[in-house]
Every structure is written in C-alpha cells, then in structure tokens.
Structure 1
C-alpha cells in the first residue's frame, strides 16, 4: 500500500484546513469523497491522532521511499505447475518445480546424514541475487592450538609455519597450485562416496574395487561433524589405492561443527586427508534450515571452522555453492570474498580451495551454465583476489527421467571426464554424484535413482567409465 492510500483512509477525520505538508483538499479526491468532507471529520482527539500519523508518514517518505505500486497491466504470473515436466532434470528428489518458483528446495529424509540438496538448476536463468549487505566484523577466534602440534596458522595476515607437508612462505603468500596435494597418476576423475557417514569394511572393499575399475582418483565422503574413527578404514583404503580423499565435514545445515574439529583434522591428516569441505550449498535455503541464505551467517561459521582446519594441518574448502540456489551462486561468492576482506580474514583463502558443484543437465561441456561453471568462478576469483584458487568438484553429473535419454547422458558425463585430461591447472577434479546408495547401506531412497550401482544391477554409465581411457 502507498502512503497516499493511507492518507485517503484518514480523510474523514480532517477539516479542510488540517496540516500544511499533509494538507488534504477536496480536489485531491473524487466527487463523492469531496461531498462528504464537511460532515465526516470526527472528534478533536481523532483529528489530533490523524494529524500525528500523517506527520509520521511524511518522515517515512523522506527517509525510506516506498516502491511504486505494482503495474496492474502486467500479465499474470506463469503457472509452472501447468507446464510439462522437462525430460532432463538436475539431481533432486522431486524434479517438478513448484508454481512460480525457479528453484525449489526439496526435503531429504536421509536419516544418517542429510546429503547435499541436489537441486542444481532447472532450464532457466539463475535466480536474481539479493543486494549486497554490509558484513559486520567478527569476534570469532579459532580454538587454541595444542603445544607441539605440526601445524601452520594465519594470524594478522602473517603465515606462521611449523613443520608440515606443504611448502609455505611468509608474509601471507598464498599457496601455489603446485603446493596442493594431488593423487599419484592424477587424471581429474572424481566420485562421491555413498551418502552415509560411515561404511563397514565389507562395503568399503566392494566399492573400492568399483572405483579402481573406473580409474577414479578423487573421492568425496561424508564425516559426521568432528567424529573420529568412523571413516578410518575408508580413508586408509583410499590412500592405499592411490586416491585423494576429500572429507566433507557434515553438519545439518548451517550450524556450528559438533565436537573438536581441530582434533578430527589432526587425526585424519595423519591418515592422509588434506582437503576438508566446510558446509554445503550455503546459498540454498534447504542448507540454511529453511531460512533465506545469508552471506554473513555463512562467514560467521566458516571462518572459525577454517581456522581450526588450517591450524591443525588441513586445507579448508570454501563455497560448494549451488548454481540453482535461491541466492545466485556468483553473487554469493563475490559477497563472501568481500565479507572476508571486511573482517580482515581474507588471508584464510591463501590456504583454501573452492568446492564446486558443476552439474550439467543436458548442457555440453563448454556451457558455463553447467560443467564449465568453474570458468565463471575463475573470473570472479581473478577479479577479487588477483589469482585463482584450486577448484575441486565435490558433486556433479547429469541425470535423466527415463531410459530414452540414457545414451545422451552417458555421452555428456564421459565427455566431462575426457575434458579433465587436458584441464586447466586450477581445475583439480570433476566428481560424479553418487557411486551407490541403498547398495552401500544408505537409508534414504531419494538418491537411489541417481546412484551408479544398485542392489539389483548398475547403470550403463559404469561400463562406459570403465572403458574410458
């Protein structure tokens, strides 16, 4: 409602001479309202109250102008529910978008760990980005580092090195791309492990063989907060088979990491884990407990977690943005970097990497709205930092609603893996979501149709990846 509409409601309470700035005359209204003017205003108290409220409206208009009224001549919004469902869909349990919504968060019933919401983006332009919001300074500090630990840390933009695996310099010099660990015989092929936070040795052995047959070199898996021990055997087998483990520190949405994160990083670093993804798709409401995404809230949690990872020998993952989130991924990334700078924490990115979710749908590999999303992020990083961070895909792929498009899907995914042979130096891995679900002990059937290996068979894509040279 406009302030002029509110003034109309106060008209019966005012005499012809009421006010100056907010004076109302019969000419301002229709003939019927003018005719009733002389006999409509009420008691002195009503008159005084109306004048006070109108003066408040003056001040509101002066300090915060209201937007113009909606144009009634515009056509009504499209009822998307009446449109046919697309054949090509991005990974989400319910592919049909809700009415008048470009990107719809879908609930997960996963009882062990809420895996990443897979609603990358439909066949539509990215959602508009909210306006930038100033980021307040953070008073958060990392947990104290135990004495005699082999760690490095960032304090006051100066890197302090204690013995570790990576070559570091002083004066907050960023790690070079060559300083980040890679697996032996690196080919850039990644795979997301079963969506559970723990696997039995029998499950690990079975699917380790499948990973080796597909020549996978990077594996992303879930760890329940700062839990220690549940993924020991998995990590040991990944390293023994020449694969680089990427641990996603699972939290139910944007919440503080439960437990001693520093201790967990030290433990898994000793087993061979260097990469720790912190939080997942923070630009999506489903990963914000249903709330609207907020850059400041994300940084409030990411900064202390990243410090704990760095101070205990690990490399923190930044981003893991959904190109289909309610908050546009590119704008979220820009504001997050600006927010780090405003808080004096930009140096954390000197030892960080960017997690990406480059789902492709039916787009060709060259399309920057799909597989090649990393090129858009690279431009943003170059603009904001003057350099590009390592990018590791921790989710990706192409999904179809029926067998008629399976051949096309196989072509798209194998093309993406082929691209990685001669990829950009910063583009470390492309990761397919997901190797298995129920066959690996996962409890949520929502991801079963996206799994490569099932209890009663496997996707033709498995053989195609085995044959891929």
Structure 2
C-alpha cells in the first residue's frame, strides 16, 4: 500500500533454562520506562500454568552476591514513602541528574532516575554512596509497591503472593519489558550484585580526567556531576575486557514467539512517516491503548537509526505493546552492514518482528518500474539473513492484493516458494514469519478468494504445502477502507469490529490484524496522502475509534 518516493531484546531461550536464573551473556538493559507510563492489564497473560516455581535460597550467586532469605517484607524496614522522599531530596541536590536522565530515557520516578544513574555513572564519591544507600533500603515488598502491576499479574496467573517469589517469576517469564526495573529487581533479590559490590566493573571516566563530561560508555547527555567538594577524584582502573558471549539459542516456533501483554491480536499501522514527534507519539499511543490495539507497525529507514523512532519504541515497550518495524526501502540492493546495524539497534531496544521490502508485485516499489520476481527473491533472502544474524525475526515481504504483473498475490507467493525449493533456500522460511495485506470490502466470513480478510487461509495452505507446517502470519496492512466515501463509515466500523472480534479466537498461526492506517495529516504525514483510509482525520476520528474504545477487552 505504501508506495512513496524513495521488553523483545530478550532472546528466545531453551526450555531447560533454570527458573529464576540469570541468562548467560545477557547485557545489562539500557532503556527505562516511567511509573507514570506503566501499561494496564495482566503482565503474564498466557503464563505457563505448568511452569515450576523458582527455588529461592540463600547461597551466594555466581557473582558473589548473597540472596536474602525469602520474606514478605523486611523486618523494621523504613516505609517506602521515606525512601522515595530521600530519593527526591538527593535529586534536588543533584539537579543535573534530575534533568538529564528523564531527557534521555523518559524515566520520571525518583527511584527509577536514581537506579539509572548508579548503573551508568563513573562517580564513586559521596553522592554515589548516598544514592546506593537510598536504593538499598528497598525490599521486595517495596519493589512490588512501586510496581503493583507485576504483583497483580503474578497473583492472577499463579496465585503467588510472596514478594520474592513473585519477582522471581516475573524475571523468569518477562519477555517484553527491558527497563531499569529489571535491573532493580535483580539487585534487590540478589540475582545480580549491586553496582557498588566489590569486583563490579566501573564505567570509565573521560580520557581527559575531567569530571564534568559524560563517560564514553554512558548515553549522550548523561550527567556525571562534580566530584565531592574537598575530595580528590577517585582513581578508577580500566574495566577488564568482557569475555566472549555465546549467542543464545533462538526459537521460532509459534509457542515461543514474543507477544504483547494482554494479547488480543488487535493492531494497526502507525502514521506513514519515518518518525513522529514526541507529542504525536504520546497522544496517539494513548489512543491506541484505549482502543485495545496491542500490535503496532511503523516505518524506519532501512539504513538509518531514527532517534524519533527510539522514543516511539520505548513508549510502546512501556505500554506492553508489540512493535513491528518495517525497514523502509524500495526493492533495491541495500548497504547490508548499515541494515544490520539498524536491526541490532532496535533488537536491543526490544523490537523482534522486522519486515524488509514491501509489495514487490507493484511497479512503484521498483526504481525502474519493472517487476522482477527472481531479483526480488534474491534481495529478500539476503535481507532476511541479515535480520536473523542481527537477532531479529524477518517477514516474507507482503504482496499487494492486486499485483501488476499478471499474477495474483497468492500466485506470486507460490512461485517464490517453488523457486526457493529449487534453489535449496526453503529452510530459511522456517525462521521467518509471513506478512500479508488483507485489505478488503467483504464481510468477515467471505473466503472465496484472497481479496478477503481471511487471506491468511490461502497463504497458510501454501506454506504448509511446501514446508509441512504453518508459519506465523501477521496482516501488516489490512481491514475495510472507505476510499473516502463518508457513506461507508458505518460499514467501515462494523466490518473492522468483526475482524477484530474474529482475532479473539483466530487460528493460532494468525498472530495479528493490523489495520491500515492510524492517520496521516494529524501525525505529520505528506498533506492529503492516504487520508481516504485514515482513522484519525483533522476533522475528527472515524466511528471505529469510539466503537473500539467501548468494545469489551479480553486477551486471546
């Protein structure tokens, strides 16, 4: 459709991983979400009912930190309110930290800001020691008071209420959040040593020895602050080189794929831009949340990291939504080293699903206007391989419902499968998902041809024919569209509601229905572009918006 001129940073781990244990070679998370942005709904919908409860002991962990004895709270612990007040007092005396950390990561809670700073600063002075003393007042019960969503979800899923065991379960099964609260939970429960523990590496200070510049390992703009008055700078030895990390085993079967929290299979395509302002992100992600939309497709240049999209991804992660990143490009050769960097960057921020190339059966997706199936297949196979190598999960590129080369979309797809089989590259598809575009004017039960909501049935049959198994399918552009005819608004609302209701009991391989399109003009798109299909218009939202907000919400 889009022809324009041109909390998963966690890997999928083997089932044998010890419950509550650390994941080998896992880097420390580098993103943060604020308490004010905690998403609603169950954290652990789909929590494995048969999973064993983690065992909690008091033996030293491999890093040398001792896990305290399980308890519902600390005897004689200071009230959480006093701890938060102490954090606020600290930040009033260090306004540089209070200002810069929220600018970088979006965190606004005093405890979160403090935890973020102690993790990245090279300071080892009175400020650092005071911040550590504040954080170490937190008990497991305090942590859950800060994050009642975790306590509620684990209680609903497993009936567990002991704070330490609740946190252990969350750490084991959380596959969406990648924030400072993950680190804080590990520190509090002894699964990782605190940053001031003996033997812990210290971020290196600036090479010129000054204390006012950020350490090279810290994010841009991160404060380091002045040294304590009257004390000489602390000599910090260079950090030892990190040992080689063994890549984790990735799994691509349906049961192991990451899903959004409160997954209902409902999604939408974000604005047709390569980045949105923070105001647009904050406003319209809230709208998506109120409508119950949990999967969001968005565009990012294939060879360039976008600071604006960093913020979009972080806010989606904070709300428990599942981002789907389309690497925006025409069907042309790319600088694959740059593509790999982009994918690795967004994998680190929590993106798992990636789409490369789009509707190669349309002339506008080719620079010379000539559709070339063999050439597309060669380019796509290279792109999919690069995405896998960078830790992402690639999609087979979606096809336009009405192709311009004499073949239907399903015919084009089947010829690609035939050629892959002949080339010996068909096994690559077992590590991919299938993107489809199921725009339609038919009701939900129509399935006479691929011009239907149930296009996924046709593509699944083709996949099973060649692979002998289903692969995940996501509609990245879909739904009923009015073509700008206001007389069709009522049908637009009714049909799209039916499509979303179907998703609550859809085939297991059909993961999400992402309608085209959230908006254009109101989100900074090219004026007038795609306005005949937008849900949010300058004149106001389409009826489907209020209908979805009123629709009862439940997971699949």
Question: Which bracket does the TM-score occupy, shorter chain normalised?
Answer: 0.5 to 0.7
> Contact 2:270 / 2:296 at 8 angstroms: preserved in 1?
yes
Matches within 5 A, 1:280-299: 280-289=358-367, 291-299=369-377
> Contact 1:254 / 1:282 at 8 angstroms: preserved in 2?
no
Aligned to 2:277: 200
1:283–1:424 CA distance, 2 compared to 1 (3 A): same
> Contact 1:274 / 1:314 at 8 angstroms: preserved in 2?
yes
| CA-CA distance at 1:452 after TM superposition | 0.8
Taking the aligned partners of 2:373 and 2:419, their CA distance within structure 1 comes to: 8
Aligned to 1:186: 263
Task: For structure 1, list consecutive stretches of 5 or more residues without a partner in the other structure.
Answer: 1-90, 93-107, 115-147, 151-160, 169-174
Pair 1:306-2:384 in alignment = yes
Matching residue within 539, 548, 554 for 1:456: 539
> Contact 2:435 / 2:474 at 8 angstroms: preserved in 1?
yes
Corresponding residue SS for 1:266: helix
Pair 1:347-2:430 in alignment = no
| CA-CA distance at 1:259 after TM superposition | 5.9
Aligned to 1:316: 394
Aligned to 1:337: 417
Aligned to 2:436: 356
> Contact 1:149 / 1:312 at 8 angstroms: preserved in 2?
no
Matching residue within 500, 515, 525 for 1:442: 525
Corresponding residue SS for 1:163: coil
Q: Deviations over 1:115-137 (max 9, x none)?
A: xxxxxxxxxxxxxxxxxxxxxxx
| CA-CA distance at 1:366 after TM superposition | 3.4
Aligned to 1:234: 312
Q: Deviations over 1:226-267 (max 9, x none)?
A: 211331000001111011000000003444357611111111
> Contact 2:328 / 2:357 at 8 angstroms: preserved in 1?
yes
Question: Of Structure 1 and Structure 2, which has the larger fraction of its residues in strand?
Answer: 1
Aligned to 1:418: 501
**Under a length normalisation based on structure 2, what TM-score does the superposition of the two structures give?**
0.53
Matches within 5 A, 1:15-414: 110=4, 162-164=246-248, 167-168=250-251, 175-230=252-307, 231-256=309-334, 260-289=338-367, 291-326=369-404, 327-367=407-447, 368=449, 369-400=451-482, 401-414=484-497
Taking the aligned partners of 2:543 and 2:401, their CA distance within structure 1 comes to: 27
Corresponding residue SS for 2:264: coil
**Greater Rg over alpha carbons, structure:** 1
1:162–1:339 CA distance, 2 compared to 1 (3 A): farther
1:396–1:353 CA distance, 2 compared to 1 (3 A): same
Corresponding residue SS for 2:330: coil
| CA-CA distance at 1:444 after TM superposition | 4.2
Task: For structure 2, list consecutive stretches of 5 or more residues without a partner in the other structure.
Answer: 7-24, 28-244
| CA-CA distance at 1:299 after TM superposition | 1.3
Taking the aligned partners of 1:397 and 1:413, their CA distance within structure 2 comes to: 6
Taking the aligned partners of 2:26 and 2:527, their CA distance within structure 1 comes to: 39
1:149–1:467 CA distance, 2 compared to 1 (3 A): closer
> Contact 1:362 / 1:409 at 8 angstroms: preserved in 2?
no
Corresponding residue SS for 2:504: helix
| CA-CA distance at 1:335 after TM superposition | 1.4
1:257–1:317 CA distance, 2 compared to 1 (3 A): farther
Taking the aligned partners of 2:506 and 2:274, their CA distance within structure 1 comes to: 31
Q: Deviations over 1:358-408 (max 9, x none)?
A: 111134443243100000111111111111110011001212242222212
Taking the aligned partners of 1:394 and 1:452, their CA distance within structure 2 comes to: 16
| CA-CA distance at 1:290 after TM superposition | 5.3
> Contact 2:399 / 2:436 at 8 angstroms: preserved in 1?
yes
Taking the aligned partners of 2:345 and 2:372, their CA distance within structure 1 comes to: 32
Taking the aligned partners of 1:162 and 1:338, their CA distance within structure 2 comes to: 35
